[in-house]
Amino acid sequence: MTDVKWGVVTTFLGPTADVLKFAAFHLDAGAHRLYIYLDDPDSDAFSTLKNHPKIRVAACNAAHWKKLTGKRPVKHQVRQSLNATHAYGRKQDVDWLTHIDVDEFLITDTPVDRVLGKLPDTTVCARMRPMEQLAGDGTAFKAFLPPGPTRDTLVSKLYPTFGPYLKGGFLSHVAGKLFVRTGLPDITLRIHNTFQNDIMNPGEAELPSIDLAHCHAKTWEDWIKAYDYRLEAGSYRAELPPVNAAGAGEMTMHMLFKTIEADSGDAGLRAFYDEVAADSPEMRTRLDAHGALRLIDLDLAAKVARHFPEIP
């Protein structure tokens, strides 16, 4: 298939600078359309985003939620899924749509449109696997380690204290995110999956040539600031299933962090962060020795300047 057009949908809450980086990066990567839903309807980002011809921005105010579902859902995951499904249901001028978070960036050596254009017509959705950023200068990532008989052993070598309690050595998800072919009936988009009626991920394929660079952990200060929210309502919340790593048993990430806190408080959390998330020459060496180091310069400042030149 030639002349493939693709788009991105996200729900955003945070500083305007972050959403402009996300938008500029994906515009630079060739996105034909960005659908950005502002969870804070009074966000300063609205006018800047609205003025860009390739961006469709929605302020998630009371009227927005009344139209979608009657009232604003309490859980942000539900809000994200409803907004993504709403974007999918709009009159589309893209052939493929991906629902990702504002701290996730598509990385590929081959243009995204060419990758998608090679998928067979029977493919309904295609999965990108994550790589997780190390907390340093922002250029080092740990690669996705495919499941298999050697993964748990390798993770334990890379992270000797906490590795046995982590799926794939990641703080956040290993499931990745999906591109979904547009124009299909009865499609619902979720965080990591899509449904057509009751069928999950119909016609799914893998996209090994596109990585999802996930900037989950930045500085220690950023990580610990987000920690309580993630523990209660985000990616470390209690309702998520056990990680199913070799040494974790039935332990969830929530249980792991609660155990660390009970044993050694903030010092224990810092030790966890330093071993699993922090960038260091030693960490890079260990990852590189196992082919699991990825070095990527997202070049966000230059891309913001290119696509939003009015921003000082």
Does residue 57 fall inside a structural domain? yes
pLDDT reported for residue 274: 94
pLDDT recorded at residue 246: 55
The pLDDT tens digits for 113-171 are 999 999 999 999 999 999 999 999 999 999 999 999 999 899 999 999 998 888 899 99
Mean pLDDT of all residues in 235-254: 79
Report the domain count for the chain.
1
Query: Has residue 139 been placed in a domain?
Result: no
Q: Given this model, what pLDDT does residue 27 score?
A: 98
Q: Are 107 and 29 in contact (CB under 8 A)?
A: no
Whether residue 22 lies inside any domain: the answer is yes
- Indicate which CATH number applies to the domain containing 82: 3.90.550
Q: Which domain holds residue 30?
A: 6-134+172-216+294-307
Residue 122 belongs to some domain of the structure: yes
What integer pLDDT is reported at residue 312 of this predicted model?
76
Q: So what's the pLDDT on residue 241? A: 86
Whether residue 58 lies inside any domain: the answer is yes
Tell me: pLDDT of 302 over 90. yes
Residue 249 within any structural domain of the chain: no
8 Å CB contact between 125 and 181: yes
Provide the whole-model pTM.
Answer: 0.94
Assess if residue 226 is contained within a domain: no
